[in-house]
């Protein structure tokens, strides 16, 4: 999973997830705590909710998704 966090609000995280689904056709989810997101994909470092997990594609599309997150005041945390 591609992991994004530190959004300024849950709305920003949801808006980012909607764009990822519509524009990139990738599955993703929004989580309000690291405990919830860890049930889907454990991450060894502390994340700042809201958190968005996006399915991996292992191609150039991932870089496009990573570039998009800045428009929604979020941060790419890793994969």
Burial letters for 42-78: b for 16+ Cβ neighbours within 10 Å, e otherwise? ebeeebebbbbbbbeeeeebbeebeebbeebebebbe
What is the number of H-type helices and E-type strands within the chain? 3, 4
Token pair for 48: 């700042």
pTM above 0.85, yes or no: yes
Q: Identify the pLDDT of residue 46.
A: 96
**DSSP 8-state assignment for residue 70:** G
Q: Identify the pLDDT of residue 72.
A: 97
**For residue 72, how far is the Cα from the chain centroid?**
11
Q: Identify the pLDDT of residue 26.
A: 97
The model's pLDDT over 9-68, given as tens digits with 9 standing for 90+, comes to: 999 999 999 999 999 999 999 999 999 999 999 999 999 999 999 999 989 899 999 999
């Amino acid at each position: 999973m591609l992991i994004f966090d530190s959004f300024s609000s849950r709305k920003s995280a949801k808006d980012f997830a909607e764009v990822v689904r519509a524009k990139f056709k990738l599955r993703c989810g929004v989580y309000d705590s690291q405990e919830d997101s860890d049930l889907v994909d454990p991450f060894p470092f502390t994340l700042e909710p809201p958190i968005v997990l996006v399915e991996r594609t292992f191609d150039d599309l991932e870089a496009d998704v990573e570039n998009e997150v800045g428009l929604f005041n979020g941060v790419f945390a890793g994969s």
